[in-house]
Chain A
């Protein structure tokens, strides 16, 4: 059979993939590629002090340290072996691949309305943004990203832990 006939058939198969893929994208829930800016924390009506500054999506090490002191949960979005060899004390492990079978079980133990700090290795690392986008999609409205990542936390001498404590 001629080569052009084979190319024609290959193009037909590719077109079938495009049509089925397009149809699938229509019936699938919308996909969020980037996390939303977090909602500001509600200020209690009885509060007489200064209105706290709303935190943005990406937060600094100082802001993360402040949230850590308030008991805010931390999420480690790095590779499992990185988590095991060292992570922010008390952090749970939720990497992008944790969403392969839907929302990871550990997320059900986190408060969707409360702030959450997600981190990876800083710099070029996209994992924290991907995890934040997927948690957003699952209804977590106050995801913050520690932009400088785990290396900055370690360099500042803040508490860390090792082992699989926060892994499924």
Chain B
């Protein structure tokens, strides 16, 4: 990779910051009310044992925060994008399963801020996560872009 960022690199740069920031925010909002997020997971009716539900309610937000912070810093960018991509694929599959089974459940993906998707889980949530997945794939494929620790460390 050359030291000078390309025009496309500068286009990817805001995507990396937005994605990272969104995942830090999503993790923080979930951690600010872990019982609410745990209750939301129960509402998905996946018949998971309680210890898995409670464990996921703590682990998922921390994975989001760590991966989001790595994206913002531009450190291990592709790996962080890969992890966020895997999370998003899992979220989309779970949301699809909730819609397919006709369950009236709340996402709690961004705490009480579900912009632009109001109300119970629906196609809006799937589309929103698919857009985020598209952004994640772009960042993962292109790399950190400018102003990234990854770039500094390879100089």
Same complex for A and B? Answer yes
Partner of B63, one of A14, A97, A130: A14
List residues of chain B with CB within 8 A of the CB of A28: 34, 58
B103 nearest CB neighbor, chain A only? A124
Interface of B is mostly: helix
Q: Mark A121-136, 1 if CB is under 8 A from B, else 0.
A: 1001111001001100
Query: What is the total number of residues of chain A having a CB less than 8 Å from a CB of chain B?
Result: 36
Q: How far is the CA of A50 from the CA of B67 in the complex (A)?
A: 62
State how many angstroms separate the Cβ of B55 from the closest Cβ of chain A: 7
Q: Which of A16, A33, A134 has the most CB of B within 10 A?
A: A33
Query: Is B18 part of the contact surface with A, judged by Cβ < 8 Å?
Result: no
Residues 91 to 118 of chain B near chain A (Cβ within 8 Å): 103-106, 108, 111-112
Partner of B62, one of A7, A20, A97: A20
Q: Given contacts A100-B111, A126-B105, are A17 and B63 in contact (CB under 8 A)?
A: yes
Query: Is A162 part of the contact surface with B, judged by Cβ < 8 Å?
Result: no
Contact check, A134 vs B59: say whether CB atoms are below 8 A apart. no
Partner of A21, one of B59, B108, B111: B59
Query: Is A32 part of the contact surface with B, judged by Cβ < 8 Å?
Result: yes
List residues of chain B with CB within 8 A of the CB of A24: 31, 58, 62
Q: How far is the CA of A99 from the CA of B39 in the complex (A)?
A: 11
Contact check, A31 vs B35: say whether CB atoms are below 8 A apart. yes
Residues 44 to 89 of chain A near chain B (Cβ within 8 Å): 79
B61 nearest CB neighbor, chain A only? A21
Query: Is A22 part of the contact surface with B, judged by Cβ < 8 Å?
Result: yes
Contact check, B106 vs A97: say whether CB atoms are below 8 A apart. yes
Partner of B43, one of A32, A99, A101, A126: A126
Q: Given contacts A13-B63, A28-B58, A97-B112, are A33 and B33 in contact (CB under 8 A)?
A: no
Query: Is A114 part of the contact surface with B, judged by Cβ < 8 Å?
Result: no
List residues of chain A with CB within 8 A of the CB of B105: 126
Partner of A96, one of B39, B61, B62: B39
Q: Given contacts A13-B67, A22-B59, A121-B104, are A32 and B80 in contact (CB under 8 A)?
A: no
Q: Tell me the B residues contacting A by CB distance below 8 Å.
A: 29, 31-36, 38-40, 42-43, 45, 50, 53-55, 57-67, 70, 76, 78-80, 82-83, 86, 103-106, 108, 111-112, 119-120
5 additional A-B pairs beyond A6-B78, A21-B63, beta carbons within 8 Å, are A13-B66, A17-B65, A79-B119, A99-B33, A121-B104
| Nearest 7 pairs of A and B residues by beta carbon | A17-B63, A9-B79, A21-B59, A130-B39, A21-B58, A21-B62, A25-B58
Q: Tell me the A residues contacting B by CB distance below 8 Å.
A: 1, 6-10, 12-14, 16-18, 20-22, 24-25, 28, 31-33, 79, 96-97, 99-101, 121, 124-127, 130, 133-134, 137
